[in-house]
Chains A and B, each alone.
Chain A
Amino acid sequence: MSIDKSMSVLIVDDYKTMLRIIRNLLKQIDFNNVEEATDGAEALGKLRAGSFGLVISDWNMAPMTGLQLLQEVRADARLKAMPFIMITAESKTENVIAAKQAGVSNYIVKPFNAETLREKIEKVLGHG
């Protein structure tokens, strides 16, 4: 079974430049149905209102961080199974453990490359 690359992907980052980079890298690997949010609260609103197949989120955002967004997603009956990838500069062990305990599907540390992004997406969507 191949990955449905037409699925909606929500990318979340407070750096608009980073959103643009991730959007372009997703496009390179044929994910063209991409929406953006610039913080956790906006992302949660979009997730609850829409129908997404994957969330790719930064951690360090205000007022709601990526970790808080992940916790909200996992606590929401409709969203709790949503594949959730954290892409962040937070590279301390305590961060990775906290994200894992909150239910992150995978974790990418910045700076990252397109191959790592592709590999992690395939893994969380069950084809890695």
Chain B
Amino acid sequence: MAERNRRPGQAFTLATRLAEIHARHPAADPDMVAEVVRSVLATMNGDLSAKETSLLAEVEELGRTIATAKAEIAALEVDVITVSHIPFATDELDAIIAHTAAATDAILENCETLDRVAAGLTGPDAAQLQEVTTRIYEACGFQDITGQRITKVVGALKAIEAKVEHIVTTFGPGGGEARPGLPQAVDTASLLNGPQLPAAAMDQSDIDKLLASFD
């Protein structure tokens, strides 16, 4: 502490402390201790103001918070998310696509059989049968839409997986080294939005109006 800022009694306090240390540790030379203290103080660039002391305390607190977070992340075993949960979820979703595709193929095959039967009929029955098979073909389009929606969910899960891995690498045990940011996906498909939720989607009549506005 600079001479000009020393409060009365502070030198006395230091002398008293040195005397106490000497009393407890007779082998310790007070001059040597004082020299060590002076050396330590000399490494500090000037005095710490109240603000700087407060900032230092905040930084120390921040360090403790980070250490606690790292310990908590380690305790959470977040690797389970990337190693087990997300692969399991994506496998299940892939299985849904495969099962619905197989079921849709079976429906279509039977529908095609009905069409062949209908071709040998005439009159109202034939017309009704064709009407029914047309409705079935239309309904089978669900498989394409659900497949695209599930693909979007799988993409979201993989993005979450990558983020979790990044957090674990950065803040987990042994982490802390600066790592380049995750590579950004090349935006080659900026218009591939996939099916929209009803609130955000245009229906066929909206699209017809939009197209007509170009004419």
Q: Do A and B come from one complex?
A: yes
Contact with A along B102-133 (1 / 0, CB 8 A): 00110010011001000000000000001001
A-chain residues with CB within 8 Å of residue B134 when the two chains form the complex: 25, 28, 114
Residues of B within 8 A of A107 (CB): 207, 211
Q: What separation, in Å, do the CA atoms of A91 and B207 have in the docked complex?
A: 8
A109 near B202 (CB under 8 angstroms)?
yes
Verify if A116 is at the interface (C-beta below 8 Å from B): yes
B137 touches A25 (CB 8 A): yes
Q: Output the least CB separation between A11 and chain B (Å).
A: 13
Are the CB atoms of A15 and B189 closer together than 8 Å?
no
Q: In the complex where A28-B134, A65-B189, A67-B191 touch, is A17 in contact with B211 (Cβ < 8 A)?
A: no
Q: Name B's interface SS.
A: helix
Tier of interface size on chain A? 35 or more
CB of A23 to closest CB in B, whole Å: 9
Q: Give the docked Cα–Cα distance between A24 and B137 (Å).
A: 7
Interface residue tally of chain B, by bracket? Answer: 35 or more
| Residues of chain B contacted by A96 (CB below 8 angstroms) | 202, 207, 210-211
Asked if A60 contacts B137 (CB within 8 A), the reply is no
* B45 interface contact, C-beta 8 A: no
Asked if A65 and B192 sit within 8 Å, CB to CB, the answer is: yes
Contact with A along B171-215 (1 / 0, CB 8 A): 000000000000000000101111110001111100100110010
Indicate if the CB atoms of A21 and B211 lie closer than 8 Å.
no
Cβ contacts under 8 Å, B142 to chain A: 111
In the complex, besides A25-B138, A90-B194, A109-B204, 11 extra interface pairs with C-beta distance below 8 angstroms are A18-B141, A21-B108, A21-B141, A65-B192, A89-B148, A89-B195, A91-B201, A95-B193, A96-B211, A110-B195, A112-B204
Which B residues lie at the A interface, using CB under 8 A? 101, 104-105, 108, 111-112, 115, 130, 133-134, 137-138, 140-145, 147-148, 189, 191-196, 200-204, 207, 210-211, 214
- Residues of A in contact with B (beta carbons under 8 Å apart): 13, 15, 17-18, 20-21, 24-25, 27-28, 59-60, 65, 67, 89-98, 100, 106-114, 116
10 residue pairs, one from A and one from B, having the closest CB atoms: A89-B195, A111-B141, A91-B201, A18-B144, A91-B202, A113-B138, A24-B137, A15-B144, A114-B134, A17-B104
